């Protein structure tokens, strides 16, 4: 399954800076393997940037929501530029400006984690042999069921992707480490935040596993199939086909304790993170979600969850006993609103995330929900402001235990 492997070690601030930004030219001498891995990182960011640019275009026509209006959760509005305390539960309003947190920058004297990159393909996967939707196509409504989308242009197609692994300098090789699985990787900004937070002892010395998506978006795509499907399959793929490679190729041990495992993402990647923990709470207890796609985007259609991730807030969470989960969530006031032709009343990202907050509160879950003013879908400025606090909140109360 491993087709190529490279490792980034600490080479001073210039190396991490080059890793953090998608600059077109290599600024420091690199061995061939490092150049190949760097190129894959740039391609991964370009692919995700394309998805967010499309989302941004859709957000231009989205109405600006007032979080103090009728139907919205009761929330505490914070002074402009501030974020809530890392131990505070409930609903908060931030913005309209979003200053970057100091932990999002490289600081002299702070140890930088090692970065490992390896490539996996669909050829050996028992879970995901691969699909793709033809470019510039989408689907059509089922005339008998407006909640269902018929996609005729999806077909088998192989995938190749990278897995980027951050290992903190503080990691003890003999110790099973807590870890975070992130969708739509790689994400160098996450690694910088962890460098600083671990150094400040605000989060444990955790490993970050940043998995590139399988390609495309929404119904009929590999990314959509993995992230938007309401089942435990994606978490099982990570467990059985990704984590063993992380341990063997990066020479680390990962904890089996679900309290030491987190999942994170943005958009459909956020939905995937929550779905991982929802269907497998014996594997994951902690979730971090930016602009979660808790809408009707599952494909193929499943009569058990006919409204896809929309069913989480409206059926599954209310009807289920509380699970041992801790959740941090965010949505923007200009987040997505009916970005495609479906008009089923279940494609409003602001309402979807607000309803998730209501459902979690009603069941007594520990959660923190951020409504960001002056923010779009998976808003970059909001992430640069809130990610350190979000990570602190998600890992609040963690205590290392023996496996």
- Residue 51: partners with Cβ closer than 8 Å, 6 or more residues away: 184, 217, 267
Binned at pLDDT 50, 70 and 90, residue 200 comes out as very high
- Among 220, 327, 210, 318, smallest CA distance to 269 is for 210
Which pLDDT score, from 0 to 100, does residue 340 have? 75
Residue 139 lies in a domain: no
**Residue located via tokens 């009807």:** 319
Kindly report, residue by residue over 144-176, the tens digit of the pLDDT: 888 899 999 999 999 999 999 999 999 998 899
Residue 38 lies in a domain: yes
Which pLDDT score, from 0 to 100, does residue 275 have? 98
Residue 34 lies in a domain: yes
Looking up residue 97, the CATH number of its domain turns out to be: 3.40.50.1820
Residue 76 lies in a domain: yes
Q: Span 81-94, mean pLDDT? A: 98
For residue 27, pLDDT beyond 50: no
Range of the domain at 252: 5-119+161-394
Which pLDDT score, from 0 to 100, does residue 112 have? 97
- Overall number of domains in the chain: 1
Q: How far is the C-alpha of 71 from the C-alpha of 137, rounded, in Å? A: 35
CB count in 10 Å sphere of residue 100: 15
Kindly report, residue by residue over 169-198, the tens digit of the pLDDT: 999 988 999 999 999 999 999 999 999 999
Kindly report, residue by residue over 374-395, the tens digit of the pLDDT: 999 999 999 999 999 999 999 9
Residue 149 lies in a domain: no
Residue 399 lies in a domain: no
336-338-340-346 Cα dihedral, nearest 10 degrees: 110
Residue 321 lies in a domain: yes
pTM to 2 decimals?
0.89
Residue 266 lies in a domain: yes
Lowest-pLDDT range of 298-312, 328-342, 355-369: 328-342
For residue 236, pLDDT beyond 90: yes
Distance of CA 202 to the CA centre of its chain: 21
């Amino acid at each position: 399954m491993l087709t190529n492997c490279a490792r980034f070690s600490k080479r001073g601030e210039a190396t991490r800076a080059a890793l953090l930004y998608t600059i077109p030219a290599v600024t420091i001498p690199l061995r061939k393997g490092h150049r190949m891995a760097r190129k894959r990182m740039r391609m991964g960011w370009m692919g995700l940037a394309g998805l967010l640019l499309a989302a941004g275009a859709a957000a231009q026509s989205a109405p600006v929501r007032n979080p103090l209006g009728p139907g919205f959760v009761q929330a505490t509005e914070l002074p402009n530029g501030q974020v809530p305390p890392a131990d505070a539960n409930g609903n908060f309003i931030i913005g309209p400006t979003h200053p970057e947190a100091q932990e999002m920058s490289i600081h002299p004297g702070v140890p930088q984690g090692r970065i490992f990159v390896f490539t996996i393909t669909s050829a050996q996967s028992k879970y995901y042999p691969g699909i793709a939707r033809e470019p510039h196509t989408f689907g059509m409504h089922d005339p008998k069921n407006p909640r269902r989308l018929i996609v005729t242009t999806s077909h088998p197609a192989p995938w190749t992707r990278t897995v980027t692994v951050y290992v903190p300098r503080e990691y003890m090789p003999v110790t099973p480490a807590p870890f975070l699985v992130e969708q739509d990787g790689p994400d160098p900004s996450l690694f910088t935040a962890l460098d600083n937070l671990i150094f400040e002892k605000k989060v444990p010395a955790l490993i970050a596993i940043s998995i590139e998506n399988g390609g495309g978006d929404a119904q009929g795509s590999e990314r959509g199939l993995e992230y938007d499907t309401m089942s435990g399959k994606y978490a099982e793929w990570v467990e059985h086909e990704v984590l063993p490679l992380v341990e063997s190729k990066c020479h680390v041990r990962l904890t089996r304790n679900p309290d030491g495992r987190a999942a994170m993402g943005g958009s459909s990647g956020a939905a995937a993170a929550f779905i991982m923990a929802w269907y497998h709470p014996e594997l994951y207890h902690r979730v971090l979600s930016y602009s979660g796609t808790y809408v009707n985007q599952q494909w193929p259609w499943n009569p058990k969850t006919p409204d896809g991730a929309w069913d989480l807030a409206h059926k599954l969470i209310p009807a289920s006993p509380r699970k041992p989960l801790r959740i941090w969530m965010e949505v923007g006031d200009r987040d997505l609103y009916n970005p495609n032709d479906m008009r089923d009343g279940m494609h409003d990202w602001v309402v979807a995330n607000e309803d998730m907050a209501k459902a979690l509160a009603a069941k007594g879950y520990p959660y923190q929900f951020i409504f960001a003013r002056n923010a779009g879908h998976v808003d970059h400025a909001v992430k640069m402001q809130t990610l350190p606090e979000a990570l602190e909140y998600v890992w609040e109360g963690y205590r290392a235990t023996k496996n």
